[in-house]
Amino acid sequence: MRRLLLKFLRRRTLAEDLETELAFHREMAAANDNPIRLGNISAIKEHAFDQWRFNFLENLWRDFAYAVRSLFRSPGFVLSALLSLGLGIGVNTAMFSIATEFLLSQPSVADAPSWVSIYLGDSNHANQQAIDFLAQSGVFREVVGENWESFSNWNDGRETRRIFSVQTTGNYFSALGVPVALGRGWTSHDPANVVVLHHRFWKKYFNGDPSVVGRLIDLDGRAYTVVGVLPEFHRTLIGYGLSPDVYLTSYLPDTLLEIYARLKPGMSLGQARAALRTVAARLDESRPDPYKKYASGLRVMPLAGFARLKQEQAATPLGLFFAVLLVLVSLVFLIACVNVAGLLLVRAASRRQEIAIRLSLGASRGRLLQQLLTESLLLSFLGAGLGFSLAQLVAKLLAAIQLPVPVPIRLQISPDWRVVTYAAVLAIAATFVVDCCPPGNR
Amino acid sequence: MAKSATPTLLQGTLDLLILHALERGKMHGYAIAQCIHLLSDEALKVEEGSLYPALYRLELGGAIAAKWGLSENNRKAKYYEITKRGKKLMDEQQEIWSRLSVAVDRVLAR
Protein backbone atom coordinates (compact mmCIF):
# COMPACT_ATOMS: atom_id res chain seq x y z
CA MET A 1 0.00 0.00 0.00
CA ARG A 2 2.76 2.39 1.02
CA ARG A 3 4.65 1.42 -2.09
CA LEU A 4 1.70 2.15 -4.29
CA LEU A 5 1.21 5.55 -2.75
CA LEU A 6 4.89 6.42 -3.07
CA LYS A 7 4.84 5.31 -6.66
CA PHE A 8 1.95 7.61 -7.38
CA LEU A 9 3.35 10.62 -5.56
CA ARG A 10 6.78 10.43 -7.09
CA ARG A 11 5.89 9.60 -10.66
CA ARG A 12 6.37 13.08 -12.02
CA THR A 13 9.64 14.12 -10.43
CA LEU A 14 11.34 10.77 -10.76
CA ALA A 15 13.29 11.42 -13.96
CA GLU A 16 14.37 14.88 -12.91
CA ASP A 17 15.49 13.67 -9.49
CA LEU A 18 17.69 10.96 -10.85
CA GLU A 19 19.15 13.32 -13.45
CA THR A 20 20.18 15.78 -10.75
CA GLU A 21 21.50 13.04 -8.56
CA LEU A 22 23.63 11.50 -11.27
CA ALA A 23 24.96 14.89 -12.34
CA PHE A 24 25.94 15.62 -8.76
CA HIS A 25 27.61 12.25 -8.44
CA ARG A 26 29.72 12.86 -11.53
CA GLU A 27 30.61 16.33 -10.47
CA MET A 28 31.80 15.10 -7.10
CA ALA A 29 33.77 12.33 -8.74
CA ALA A 30 35.42 14.78 -11.10
CA ALA A 31 36.24 17.17 -8.26
CA ASN A 32 37.86 14.37 -6.30
CA ASP A 33 39.85 13.15 -9.26
CA ASN A 34 38.00 9.87 -9.40
CA PRO A 35 37.87 8.28 -12.79
CA ILE A 36 34.31 7.78 -13.89
CA ARG A 37 33.54 4.47 -15.41
CA LEU A 38 31.66 5.28 -18.53
CA GLY A 39 28.32 3.68 -17.93
CA ASN A 40 25.24 3.63 -20.06
CA ILE A 41 23.30 6.47 -18.46
CA SER A 42 20.00 5.57 -20.03
CA ALA A 43 20.36 1.97 -18.89
CA ILE A 44 21.08 3.12 -15.31
CA LYS A 45 18.02 5.31 -15.40
CA GLU A 46 15.90 2.53 -16.74
CA HIS A 47 17.10 0.17 -14.02
CA ALA A 48 16.55 2.69 -11.27
CA PHE A 49 13.12 3.60 -12.57
CA ASP A 50 11.98 0.07 -13.10
CA GLN A 51 11.46 -0.24 -9.37
CA TRP A 52 9.29 2.79 -9.25
CA ARG A 53 7.09 2.45 -12.23
CA PHE A 54 3.91 0.54 -12.75
CA ASN A 55 6.16 -1.36 -15.00
CA PHE A 56 3.98 -4.00 -16.34
CA LEU A 57 1.07 -1.74 -17.20
CA GLU A 58 3.17 1.10 -18.52
CA ASN A 59 5.24 -1.21 -20.66
CA LEU A 60 2.12 -2.92 -21.88
CA TRP A 61 0.57 0.36 -22.89
CA ARG A 62 3.71 1.50 -24.68
CA ASP A 63 4.10 -1.83 -26.40
CA PHE A 64 0.50 -1.68 -27.45
CA ALA A 65 0.82 1.81 -28.91
CA TYR A 66 4.01 0.79 -30.66
CA ALA A 67 2.40 -2.38 -32.00
CA VAL A 68 -0.48 -0.40 -33.45
CA ARG A 69 1.92 1.92 -35.23
CA SER A 70 4.15 -0.84 -36.53
CA LEU A 71 1.15 -2.81 -37.80
CA PHE A 72 -0.13 0.27 -39.59
CA ARG A 73 3.19 0.50 -41.39
CA SER A 74 2.72 -2.87 -43.07
CA PRO A 75 -0.93 -3.13 -44.12
CA GLY A 76 -0.25 -5.95 -46.57
CA PHE A 77 1.14 -8.20 -43.90
CA VAL A 78 -1.63 -7.30 -41.47
CA LEU A 79 -4.32 -7.96 -44.03
CA SER A 80 -3.08 -11.41 -44.97
CA ALA A 81 -2.41 -12.35 -41.34
CA LEU A 82 -5.84 -11.17 -40.27
CA LEU A 83 -7.51 -13.03 -43.07
CA SER A 84 -5.73 -16.21 -42.12
CA LEU A 85 -6.36 -15.87 -38.39
CA GLY A 86 -9.91 -14.68 -38.92
CA LEU A 87 -10.70 -17.71 -41.00
CA GLY A 88 -9.03 -20.12 -38.58
CA ILE A 89 -10.68 -18.63 -35.52
CA GLY A 90 -13.96 -18.02 -37.31
CA VAL A 91 -14.54 -21.56 -38.49
CA ASN A 92 -13.53 -22.87 -35.10
CA THR A 93 -15.81 -20.54 -33.19
CA ALA A 94 -18.69 -21.26 -35.52
CA MET A 95 -18.37 -24.97 -34.88
CA PHE A 96 -18.08 -24.33 -31.17
CA SER A 97 -21.20 -22.20 -31.05
CA ILE A 98 -23.16 -24.83 -32.97
CA ALA A 99 -21.92 -27.56 -30.65
CA THR A 100 -22.76 -25.65 -27.46
CA GLU A 101 -26.13 -24.64 -28.80
CA PHE A 102 -26.92 -28.18 -29.83
CA LEU A 103 -25.68 -29.92 -26.72
CA LEU A 104 -26.05 -27.41 -23.92
CA SER A 105 -28.88 -25.06 -24.82
CA GLN A 106 -31.14 -23.85 -22.04
CA PRO A 107 -34.86 -23.98 -22.77
CA SER A 108 -36.64 -20.63 -22.75
CA VAL A 109 -38.35 -20.97 -19.40
CA ALA A 110 -38.24 -18.89 -16.24
CA ASP A 111 -36.11 -21.20 -14.09
CA ALA A 112 -34.62 -23.96 -16.25
CA PRO A 113 -32.47 -25.72 -13.59
CA SER A 114 -35.53 -26.47 -11.43
CA TRP A 115 -37.26 -28.41 -14.19
CA VAL A 116 -36.96 -32.16 -14.66
CA SER A 117 -38.17 -34.69 -17.13
CA ILE A 118 -40.20 -37.50 -15.52
CA TYR A 119 -40.24 -41.16 -16.54
CA LEU A 120 -43.16 -43.31 -15.38
CA GLY A 121 -43.35 -46.98 -16.31
CA ASP A 122 -40.13 -46.67 -18.31
CA SER A 123 -41.51 -43.92 -20.51
CA ASN A 124 -41.51 -40.15 -20.36
CA HIS A 125 -44.96 -40.13 -21.95
CA ALA A 126 -48.22 -40.48 -20.07
CA ASN A 127 -51.84 -39.61 -20.65
CA GLN A 128 -53.66 -36.60 -19.30
CA GLN A 129 -55.07 -38.57 -16.35
CA ALA A 130 -51.66 -39.61 -15.10
CA ILE A 131 -50.34 -36.07 -15.47
CA ASP A 132 -53.28 -34.66 -13.52
CA PHE A 133 -52.70 -37.26 -10.84
CA LEU A 134 -49.06 -36.23 -10.55
CA ALA A 135 -50.01 -32.56 -10.37
CA GLN A 136 -52.57 -33.19 -7.65
CA SER A 137 -50.16 -35.29 -5.59
CA GLY A 138 -48.43 -32.07 -4.54
CA VAL A 139 -44.95 -33.56 -4.85
CA PHE A 140 -43.96 -31.05 -7.51
CA ARG A 141 -44.49 -27.32 -7.82
CA GLU A 142 -45.80 -27.65 -11.35
CA VAL A 143 -46.41 -30.46 -13.79
CA VAL A 144 -46.83 -29.85 -17.51
CA GLY A 145 -47.18 -32.09 -20.54
CA GLU A 146 -46.42 -31.59 -24.20
CA ASN A 147 -46.83 -33.75 -27.28
CA TRP A 148 -44.30 -33.33 -30.07
CA GLU A 149 -45.51 -35.95 -32.48
CA SER A 150 -48.23 -33.94 -34.10
CA PHE A 151 -48.88 -32.07 -37.31
CA SER A 152 -51.71 -29.73 -38.19
CA ASN A 153 -53.13 -28.75 -41.53
CA TRP A 154 -53.14 -25.01 -41.84
CA ASN A 155 -55.41 -23.46 -44.45
CA ASP A 156 -54.47 -19.88 -45.21
CA GLY A 157 -57.45 -19.40 -47.52
CA ARG A 158 -55.64 -20.38 -50.71
CA GLU A 159 -53.82 -23.56 -49.92
CA THR A 160 -53.35 -26.00 -47.09
CA ARG A 161 -49.94 -26.61 -45.57
CA ARG A 162 -48.87 -29.28 -43.17
CA ILE A 163 -47.25 -27.51 -40.25
CA PHE A 164 -45.47 -28.84 -37.22
CA SER A 165 -47.38 -28.25 -34.01
CA VAL A 166 -46.79 -29.01 -30.36
CA GLN A 167 -49.77 -29.80 -28.16
CA THR A 168 -49.43 -28.85 -24.53
CA THR A 169 -51.40 -28.82 -21.32
CA GLY A 170 -53.35 -25.68 -20.42
CA ASN A 171 -50.89 -24.56 -17.73
CA TYR A 172 -47.93 -24.69 -20.13
CA PHE A 173 -47.13 -20.97 -20.38
CA SER A 174 -48.03 -19.96 -16.84
CA ALA A 175 -46.21 -22.83 -15.16
CA LEU A 176 -43.04 -22.72 -17.25
CA GLY A 177 -42.91 -18.96 -17.57
CA VAL A 178 -42.18 -19.18 -21.29
CA PRO A 179 -41.49 -15.65 -22.54
CA VAL A 180 -43.86 -14.42 -25.24
CA ALA A 181 -42.87 -11.60 -27.59
CA LEU A 182 -46.31 -10.48 -28.65
CA GLY A 183 -49.70 -10.98 -27.03
CA ARG A 184 -49.66 -13.61 -24.28
CA GLY A 185 -49.46 -17.33 -23.65
CA TRP A 186 -52.63 -19.15 -22.72
CA THR A 187 -53.78 -19.90 -19.21
CA SER A 188 -55.99 -22.70 -17.93
CA HIS A 189 -58.98 -20.36 -18.29
CA ASP A 190 -58.58 -20.03 -22.06
CA PRO A 191 -60.73 -22.18 -24.34
CA ALA A 192 -58.98 -25.03 -26.14
CA ASN A 193 -59.02 -23.35 -29.56
CA VAL A 194 -56.19 -20.88 -29.03
CA VAL A 195 -52.79 -20.92 -30.72
CA VAL A 196 -49.36 -19.37 -30.12
CA LEU A 197 -47.21 -18.86 -33.19
CA HIS A 198 -43.48 -19.36 -33.45
CA HIS A 199 -41.54 -16.23 -34.42
CA ARG A 200 -40.18 -17.79 -37.59
CA PHE A 201 -43.61 -19.00 -38.70
CA TRP A 202 -45.08 -15.58 -37.98
CA LYS A 203 -42.33 -13.84 -39.96
CA LYS A 204 -42.64 -16.20 -42.87
CA TYR A 205 -46.37 -16.35 -43.35
CA PHE A 206 -47.67 -13.24 -41.62
CA ASN A 207 -44.81 -10.90 -42.55
CA GLY A 208 -44.31 -10.10 -38.90
CA ASP A 209 -47.66 -8.34 -38.72
CA PRO A 210 -48.38 -7.48 -35.06
CA SER A 211 -52.13 -7.32 -35.70
CA VAL A 212 -52.13 -11.10 -36.03
CA VAL A 213 -52.94 -11.37 -32.33
CA GLY A 214 -56.67 -11.90 -32.00
CA ARG A 215 -57.05 -13.09 -35.58
CA LEU A 216 -58.61 -16.46 -36.38
CA ILE A 217 -56.64 -19.06 -38.32
CA ASP A 218 -57.88 -22.31 -39.78
CA LEU A 219 -56.19 -25.41 -38.38
CA ASP A 220 -57.51 -28.86 -39.25
CA GLY A 221 -60.75 -27.25 -40.38
CA ARG A 222 -61.38 -25.48 -37.09
CA ALA A 223 -60.96 -21.83 -36.17
CA TYR A 224 -58.24 -21.02 -33.64
CA THR A 225 -57.61 -17.61 -32.09
CA VAL A 226 -54.01 -16.41 -32.18
CA VAL A 227 -53.22 -15.23 -28.65
CA GLY A 228 -49.48 -14.72 -28.87
CA VAL A 229 -46.21 -14.91 -30.79
CA LEU A 230 -43.01 -16.42 -29.35
CA PRO A 231 -39.77 -14.43 -29.36
CA GLU A 232 -37.14 -15.02 -32.02
CA PHE A 233 -34.80 -16.88 -29.69
CA HIS A 234 -37.30 -19.34 -28.32
CA ARG A 235 -35.74 -22.62 -27.26
CA THR A 236 -37.95 -25.62 -26.69
CA LEU A 237 -37.90 -27.92 -23.68
CA ILE A 238 -36.57 -30.75 -25.80
CA GLY A 239 -33.70 -28.65 -27.13
CA TYR A 240 -31.47 -29.89 -29.97
CA GLY A 241 -32.74 -26.98 -32.05
CA LEU A 242 -36.15 -28.51 -32.53
CA SER A 243 -38.56 -25.73 -33.38
CA PRO A 244 -42.27 -26.19 -34.04
CA ASP A 245 -44.43 -23.81 -36.06
CA VAL A 246 -47.25 -23.43 -33.57
CA TYR A 247 -48.20 -24.37 -30.02
CA LEU A 248 -51.73 -25.67 -29.39
CA THR A 249 -53.54 -26.65 -26.26
CA SER A 250 -56.08 -29.00 -27.77
CA TYR A 251 -55.54 -32.69 -28.19
CA LEU A 252 -57.46 -35.93 -28.15
CA PRO A 253 -58.22 -37.27 -24.67
CA ASP A 254 -55.89 -40.26 -24.95
CA THR A 255 -52.93 -38.38 -26.40
CA LEU A 256 -49.66 -39.29 -24.70
CA LEU A 257 -47.78 -36.26 -23.41
CA GLU A 258 -44.19 -35.90 -22.32
CA ILE A 259 -44.10 -35.16 -18.61
CA TYR A 260 -42.09 -32.25 -17.19
CA ALA A 261 -42.17 -31.17 -13.57
CA ARG A 262 -40.74 -28.36 -11.53
CA LEU A 263 -39.00 -29.35 -8.31
CA LYS A 264 -39.85 -27.58 -5.08
CA PRO A 265 -37.05 -25.34 -3.81
CA GLY A 266 -34.31 -27.37 -2.16
CA MET A 267 -35.62 -30.71 -3.38
CA SER A 268 -32.88 -32.98 -4.69
CA LEU A 269 -33.24 -35.38 -7.58
CA GLY A 270 -33.04 -38.31 -5.14
CA GLN A 271 -35.84 -36.94 -2.98
CA ALA A 272 -37.93 -36.34 -6.08
CA ARG A 273 -37.35 -39.91 -7.19
CA ALA A 274 -38.39 -41.30 -3.80
CA ALA A 275 -41.54 -39.18 -3.74
CA LEU A 276 -42.33 -40.18 -7.30
CA ARG A 277 -42.17 -43.85 -6.31
CA THR A 278 -44.97 -43.41 -3.75
CA VAL A 279 -47.11 -41.37 -6.12
CA ALA A 280 -46.64 -43.86 -8.95
CA ALA A 281 -47.61 -46.76 -6.66
CA ARG A 282 -50.83 -44.92 -5.70
CA LEU A 283 -51.44 -44.19 -9.38
CA ASP A 284 -51.17 -47.91 -10.14
CA GLU A 285 -53.77 -48.59 -7.47
CA SER A 286 -56.30 -45.91 -8.31
CA ARG A 287 -56.02 -45.87 -12.12
CA PRO A 288 -54.42 -49.10 -13.22
CA ASP A 289 -53.24 -49.16 -16.80
CA PRO A 290 -53.61 -52.61 -18.38
CA TYR A 291 -50.51 -52.14 -20.52
CA LYS A 292 -47.98 -50.81 -18.07
CA LYS A 293 -47.01 -50.45 -14.47
CA TYR A 294 -46.36 -46.80 -13.57
CA ALA A 295 -44.20 -47.58 -10.57
CA SER A 296 -41.48 -49.25 -12.63
CA GLY A 297 -38.66 -47.68 -14.58
CA LEU A 298 -38.97 -44.39 -12.73
CA ARG A 299 -36.55 -41.63 -13.66
CA VAL A 300 -36.15 -37.98 -12.81
CA MET A 301 -33.79 -36.24 -15.24
CA PRO A 302 -32.54 -32.66 -15.29
CA LEU A 303 -33.77 -30.67 -18.22
CA ALA A 304 -31.00 -28.21 -18.89
CA GLY A 305 -27.29 -27.95 -19.52
CA PHE A 306 -24.61 -30.44 -18.63
CA ALA A 307 -26.79 -32.22 -16.11
CA ARG A 308 -29.14 -33.29 -18.85
CA LEU A 309 -26.39 -34.26 -21.25
CA LYS A 310 -24.78 -36.52 -18.68
CA GLN A 311 -27.93 -38.62 -18.37
CA GLU A 312 -28.81 -38.63 -22.03
CA GLN A 313 -28.23 -41.95 -23.75
CA ALA A 314 -27.33 -40.27 -27.02
CA ALA A 315 -24.83 -37.98 -25.28
CA THR A 316 -21.74 -40.06 -26.02
CA PRO A 317 -22.16 -40.42 -29.79
CA LEU A 318 -23.33 -36.83 -30.12
CA GLY A 319 -20.47 -35.57 -28.00
CA LEU A 320 -18.00 -37.62 -30.03
CA PHE A 321 -19.45 -36.32 -33.25
CA PHE A 322 -18.90 -32.73 -32.21
CA ALA A 323 -15.51 -33.56 -30.72
CA VAL A 324 -14.35 -34.91 -34.08
CA LEU A 325 -15.69 -31.81 -35.82
CA LEU A 326 -13.91 -29.58 -33.34
CA VAL A 327 -10.66 -31.45 -33.83
CA LEU A 328 -11.01 -30.96 -37.58
CA VAL A 329 -11.55 -27.23 -37.32
CA SER A 330 -8.74 -27.01 -34.77
CA LEU A 331 -6.44 -28.38 -37.45
CA VAL A 332 -7.62 -25.61 -39.73
CA PHE A 333 -6.86 -23.20 -36.92
CA LEU A 334 -3.35 -24.61 -36.49
CA ILE A 335 -2.68 -24.31 -40.20
CA ALA A 336 -3.78 -20.69 -40.03
CA CYS A 337 -1.39 -20.10 -37.15
CA VAL A 338 1.54 -21.70 -38.96
CA ASN A 339 0.69 -19.58 -41.95
CA VAL A 340 0.86 -16.41 -39.87
CA ALA A 341 4.08 -17.61 -38.25
CA GLY A 342 5.55 -17.87 -41.74
CA LEU A 343 4.46 -14.34 -42.51
CA LEU A 344 6.04 -13.16 -39.27
CA LEU A 345 9.29 -14.89 -40.22
CA VAL A 346 9.48 -12.90 -43.43
CA ARG A 347 8.75 -9.78 -41.45
CA ALA A 348 11.39 -10.64 -38.86
CA ALA A 349 14.08 -10.56 -41.51
CA SER A 350 13.27 -6.96 -42.25
CA ARG A 351 13.07 -6.08 -38.58
CA ARG A 352 16.51 -7.34 -37.69
CA GLN A 353 17.88 -3.84 -37.75
CA GLU A 354 15.26 -2.51 -35.39
CA ILE A 355 15.88 -5.33 -32.95
CA ALA A 356 19.63 -4.82 -33.09
CA ILE A 357 19.18 -1.12 -32.29
CA ARG A 358 16.92 -1.90 -29.38
CA LEU A 359 19.39 -4.44 -27.99
CA SER A 360 22.29 -2.02 -28.25
CA LEU A 361 20.26 0.65 -26.47
CA GLY A 362 20.11 -1.70 -23.53
CA ALA A 363 16.77 -3.42 -23.97
CA SER A 364 16.71 -6.80 -22.29
CA ARG A 365 15.70 -9.91 -24.18
CA GLY A 366 12.65 -10.21 -21.97
CA ARG A 367 11.48 -6.74 -22.91
CA LEU A 368 11.99 -7.44 -26.60
CA LEU A 369 10.05 -10.65 -26.30
CA GLN A 370 7.27 -8.84 -24.50
CA GLN A 371 7.15 -6.30 -27.30
CA LEU A 372 6.90 -8.96 -29.97
CA LEU A 373 4.32 -10.89 -27.98
CA THR A 374 2.19 -7.76 -27.64
CA GLU A 375 2.28 -7.36 -31.37
CA SER A 376 1.14 -10.90 -31.99
CA LEU A 377 -1.46 -10.61 -29.26
CA LEU A 378 -2.90 -7.51 -30.89
CA LEU A 379 -2.89 -9.29 -34.21
CA SER A 380 -4.57 -12.34 -32.73
CA PHE A 381 -7.29 -10.33 -31.04
CA LEU A 382 -8.00 -8.42 -34.21
CA GLY A 383 -8.14 -11.78 -35.93
CA ALA A 384 -10.45 -13.11 -33.25
CA GLY A 385 -12.73 -10.10 -33.69
CA LEU A 386 -12.90 -10.76 -37.40
CA GLY A 387 -13.29 -14.47 -36.77
CA PHE A 388 -16.07 -13.87 -34.28
CA SER A 389 -18.11 -11.90 -36.78
CA LEU A 390 -17.37 -14.48 -39.41
CA ALA A 391 -18.39 -17.22 -36.98
CA GLN A 392 -21.79 -15.67 -36.42
CA LEU A 393 -22.35 -15.61 -40.15
CA VAL A 394 -21.06 -19.13 -40.79
CA ALA A 395 -22.94 -20.60 -37.84
CA LYS A 396 -26.18 -18.98 -38.94
CA LEU A 397 -25.70 -20.25 -42.47
CA LEU A 398 -24.92 -23.74 -41.23
CA ALA A 399 -27.82 -23.70 -38.81
CA ALA A 400 -30.17 -22.59 -41.58
CA ILE A 401 -29.51 -25.75 -43.58
CA GLN A 402 -32.65 -27.85 -43.39
CA LEU A 403 -31.73 -31.35 -42.35
CA PRO A 404 -33.66 -34.11 -44.08
CA VAL A 405 -35.66 -34.96 -40.97
CA PRO A 406 -39.42 -34.81 -40.56
CA VAL A 407 -39.29 -32.20 -37.80
CA PRO A 408 -37.93 -28.70 -38.32
CA ILE A 409 -34.57 -28.19 -36.61
CA ARG A 410 -33.40 -24.63 -36.26
CA LEU A 411 -30.51 -23.86 -33.95
CA GLN A 412 -30.81 -20.47 -32.36
CA ILE A 413 -27.29 -19.23 -32.86
CA SER A 414 -26.64 -16.17 -30.80
CA PRO A 415 -23.34 -14.99 -29.39
CA ASP A 416 -23.16 -15.67 -25.67
CA TRP A 417 -20.37 -15.48 -23.11
CA ARG A 418 -19.27 -19.03 -23.84
CA VAL A 419 -18.62 -18.27 -27.49
CA VAL A 420 -16.91 -14.96 -26.72
CA THR A 421 -14.67 -16.68 -24.17
CA TYR A 422 -13.87 -19.41 -26.65
CA ALA A 423 -12.85 -16.89 -29.31
CA ALA A 424 -10.69 -15.03 -26.77
CA VAL A 425 -8.99 -18.25 -25.67
CA LEU A 426 -8.34 -19.07 -29.31
CA ALA A 427 -6.77 -15.65 -29.80
CA ILE A 428 -4.40 -16.18 -26.88
CA ALA A 429 -3.61 -19.69 -28.08
CA ALA A 430 -2.91 -18.28 -31.54
CA THR A 431 -0.46 -15.78 -30.06
CA PHE A 432 1.56 -18.48 -28.40
CA VAL A 433 1.40 -20.92 -31.26
CA VAL A 434 2.46 -18.22 -33.70
CA ASP A 435 5.29 -17.01 -31.49
CA CYS A 436 6.57 -20.34 -30.32
CA CYS A 437 6.26 -22.65 -33.29
CA PRO A 438 9.58 -23.12 -35.12
CA PRO A 439 9.12 -20.70 -38.01
CA GLY A 440 8.09 -18.08 -35.49
CA ASN A 441 11.33 -18.30 -33.54
CA ARG A 442 13.06 -15.13 -34.38
CA MET B 1 37.33 -9.30 -21.01
CA ALA B 2 40.46 -8.70 -18.99
CA LYS B 3 40.57 -10.08 -15.48
CA SER B 4 39.89 -7.33 -13.02
CA ALA B 5 41.95 -7.05 -9.86
CA THR B 6 39.09 -5.53 -7.86
CA PRO B 7 36.64 -8.15 -6.70
CA THR B 8 33.11 -7.70 -7.90
CA LEU B 9 30.34 -7.58 -5.36
CA LEU B 10 28.26 -10.61 -4.71
CA GLN B 11 24.64 -10.24 -5.59
CA GLY B 12 22.74 -8.88 -2.60
CA THR B 13 25.75 -7.72 -0.60
CA LEU B 14 25.51 -4.19 -1.98
CA ASP B 15 22.29 -3.58 -0.05
CA LEU B 16 24.03 -4.62 3.15
CA LEU B 17 27.02 -2.36 2.47
CA ILE B 18 24.81 0.63 1.72
CA LEU B 19 22.81 0.13 4.89
CA HIS B 20 25.99 -0.28 6.88
CA ALA B 21 27.44 2.93 5.46
CA LEU B 22 24.24 4.82 6.25
CA GLU B 23 24.38 3.71 9.89
CA ARG B 24 27.06 6.36 10.34
CA GLY B 25 24.57 9.07 9.46
CA LYS B 26 22.81 10.48 6.44
CA MET B 27 24.81 10.95 3.28
CA HIS B 28 24.37 11.36 -0.43
CA GLY B 29 24.96 8.81 -3.13
CA TYR B 30 28.53 9.75 -3.92
CA ALA B 31 29.47 9.73 -0.25
CA ILE B 32 28.02 6.26 0.14
CA ALA B 33 30.13 4.99 -2.74
CA GLN B 34 33.22 6.69 -1.29
CA CYS B 35 32.50 5.38 2.19
CA ILE B 36 32.31 1.80 0.98
CA HIS B 37 35.41 2.33 -1.12
CA LEU B 38 37.43 3.68 1.80
CA LEU B 39 36.13 1.29 4.43
CA SER B 40 37.16 -1.64 2.25
CA ASP B 41 40.68 -0.21 2.04
CA GLU B 42 39.95 0.72 -1.55
CA ALA B 43 39.29 -2.87 -2.47
CA LEU B 44 35.65 -2.37 -3.41
CA LYS B 45 34.39 0.03 -5.98
CA VAL B 46 30.70 0.74 -6.22
CA GLU B 47 29.69 1.99 -9.60
CA GLU B 48 26.81 4.31 -10.17
CA GLY B 49 25.24 1.77 -12.48
CA SER B 50 24.55 -0.52 -9.55
CA LEU B 51 24.45 2.07 -6.74
CA TYR B 52 21.47 4.10 -7.87
CA PRO B 53 19.17 1.24 -8.80
CA ALA B 54 19.95 -0.24 -5.37
CA LEU B 55 19.23 3.06 -3.61
CA TYR B 56 15.94 3.45 -5.42
CA ARG B 57 14.99 -0.09 -4.60
CA LEU B 58 15.82 0.31 -0.91
CA GLU B 59 13.92 3.57 -0.72
CA LEU B 60 10.85 2.02 -2.25
CA GLY B 61 11.10 -0.86 0.19
CA GLY B 62 11.19 1.60 3.07
CA ALA B 63 14.67 0.60 4.31
CA ILE B 64 16.03 4.09 3.68
CA ALA B 65 14.47 7.53 3.41
CA ALA B 66 15.60 10.30 1.08
CA LYS B 67 15.55 14.06 1.49
CA TRP B 68 16.96 16.86 -0.61
CA GLY B 69 19.56 19.00 1.05
CA LEU B 70 22.68 21.07 0.43
CA SER B 71 26.03 19.39 0.04
CA GLU B 72 29.30 20.51 1.63
CA ASN B 73 30.04 22.52 -1.53
CA ASN B 74 26.59 24.09 -1.50
CA ARG B 75 25.03 22.00 -4.19
CA LYS B 76 21.62 20.45 -4.20
CA ALA B 77 22.02 16.78 -3.27
CA LYS B 78 19.80 13.95 -2.22
CA TYR B 79 20.59 12.67 1.26
CA TYR B 80 19.77 9.17 2.32
CA GLU B 81 19.01 8.05 5.85
CA ILE B 82 18.51 4.60 7.31
CA THR B 83 15.07 3.87 8.79
CA LYS B 84 13.98 1.54 11.55
CA ARG B 85 12.92 -0.97 8.99
CA GLY B 86 16.31 -0.57 7.34
CA LYS B 87 18.11 -1.34 10.59
CA LYS B 88 16.12 -4.50 10.99
CA LEU B 89 16.84 -5.48 7.41
CA MET B 90 20.53 -4.82 7.95
CA ASP B 91 20.66 -7.05 11.02
CA GLU B 92 19.03 -9.84 9.09
CA GLN B 93 21.34 -9.42 6.13
CA GLN B 94 24.40 -9.25 8.35
CA GLU B 95 23.40 -12.49 10.01
CA ILE B 96 22.95 -14.14 6.64
CA TRP B 97 26.26 -12.78 5.41
CA SER B 98 28.28 -13.93 8.39
CA ARG B 99 26.81 -17.39 8.14
CA LEU B 100 27.64 -17.47 4.46
CA SER B 101 31.19 -16.22 4.85
CA VAL B 102 31.93 -18.60 7.72
CA ALA B 103 30.60 -21.45 5.63
CA VAL B 104 32.63 -20.47 2.59
CA ASP B 105 35.78 -20.10 4.72
CA ARG B 106 35.21 -23.50 6.21
CA VAL B 107 34.94 -25.08 2.81
CA LEU B 108 38.04 -23.34 1.52
CA ALA B 109 40.06 -24.27 4.62
CA ARG B 110 39.90 -27.96 3.86
| Position B3 pLDDT exceeds 70 | no
Q: Which residue has the higher pLDDT, A373 or A59?
A: A373
**What is the least distance, in Å, from the CA of A371 to any CA of chain B?**
23
Q: A55-81, pLDDT tens digit by residue?
A: 667 777 888 888 888 888 888 888 998
Of A268-282, A303-317, A376-390, which range is least confident?
A: A303-317
Average model confidence (pLDDT) across chain A:
82
Beta strand A222-229 with A142-155 is unpaired
| Position A158 pLDDT exceeds 80 | yes
Domain residues of chain A, as ranges?
57-105+316-440, 112-303
Contacts of B61 in chain A (CB under 8 A): 3
Residue of A nearest to B45 (CA): A37
Of A49-63, A183-197, B18-32, B56-70, which range is least confident?
A: A49-63
Which range in A106-110, A239-243, A402-406 is most confidently predicted, on average pLDDT? A106-110
What letters, b where the CB count within 10 A reaches 16 and e where it falls short, cover A391-424? bbebbbeebeeeeeeeebeebbbeeeeebeebbb
User: Is the full-model pTM beyond 0.90?
Assistant: no
Residue of B nearest to A51 (CA): B57
- Which residues lie across from B65 on neighbouring strands? B81
Q: A347-358, pLDDT tens digit by residue?
A: 877 788 888 888
What is the torsion angle, in degrees rounded to the nearest 10, for the CA atoms of residue A16, residue A17, residue A19 and residue A22? 180
Distance between alpha carbon A292 and the CA centroid of its chain, in Å?
42
Q: A213-232, pLDDT tens digit by residue?
A: 888 888 888 888 999 999 88
C-alpha–C-alpha distance, residues B60 and A3, integer Å: 6
Q: What is the DSSP string of A338-374?
A: HHHHHHHHHHHHHHHHHHHHHHHTT--HHHHHHHHHH
Cβ contact A427:A383 at 8 Å: yes
Of A29-33, A38-42, A355-359, A420-424, which range is least confident?
A: A38-42
Give me the percent of chain A exceeding a pLDDT of 90: 2
Q: Would you state the pLDDT for residue A36?
A: 59
- Chain B contact for A7 (CB, 8 A cutoff): yes
Give me the percent of chain A exceeding a pLDDT of 70: 90
Please give the average per-residue pLDDT across A276-288, as a whole number. 85
| Position A425 pLDDT exceeds 60 | yes
Q: Name the DSSP letter for residue A409.
A: B
Q: Name the DSSP letter for residue A212.
A: G
Question: Confidence band (pLDDT; 50, 70, 90) for A196?
Answer: very high
Cβ contact A220:A188 at 8 Å: no
Q: Would you state the pLDDT for residue A4?
A: 66
Contacts of A29 in chain B (CB under 8 A): 30
Q: Would you state the pLDDT for residue B102?
A: 92
Contacts of B71 in chain A (CB under 8 A): 24, 28
Query: Which residues, other chains included, contact A222 with Cβ-Cβ below 8 Å and sequence gap of 6+?
Result: A193
C-alpha–C-alpha distance, residues A279 and A261, integer Å: 14
Q: Which residue has the higher pLDDT, A27 or A167?
A: A167
Name which of A31, A39, A49 is nearest B48 (Cβ-Cβ).
Answer: A39
Q: Would you state the pLDDT for residue B55?
A: 86
Contacts of B73 in chain A (CB under 8 A): 31
Name which of A6, A18, A27 is nearest B52 (Cβ-Cβ).
Answer: A18
Residue of B nearest to A22 (CA): B48
| Position A442 pLDDT exceeds 60 | no
C-alpha–C-alpha distance, residues B46 and B36, integer Å: 7
| Position A412 pLDDT exceeds 80 | no
C-alpha–C-alpha distance, residues A118 and A272, integer Å: 10
| Position A263 pLDDT exceeds 50 | yes
Distance between alpha carbon A257 and the CA centroid of its chain, in Å?
31
- Domains by residue range for chain B, with CATH: 13-109 (1.10.10.10)
Q: Name the DSSP letter for residue A313.
A: T
Q: Would you state the pLDDT for residue B99?
A: 92
CB–CB contact A20 B29 (8 Å): no
Q: Would you state the pLDDT for residue A131?
A: 87
Short-list B56, B73, B74, CA closest to B65? B56
**Other residues' Cβ atoms within 10 Å of the Cβ of residue B26:** 15
Contacts of A32 in chain B (CB under 8 A): 34
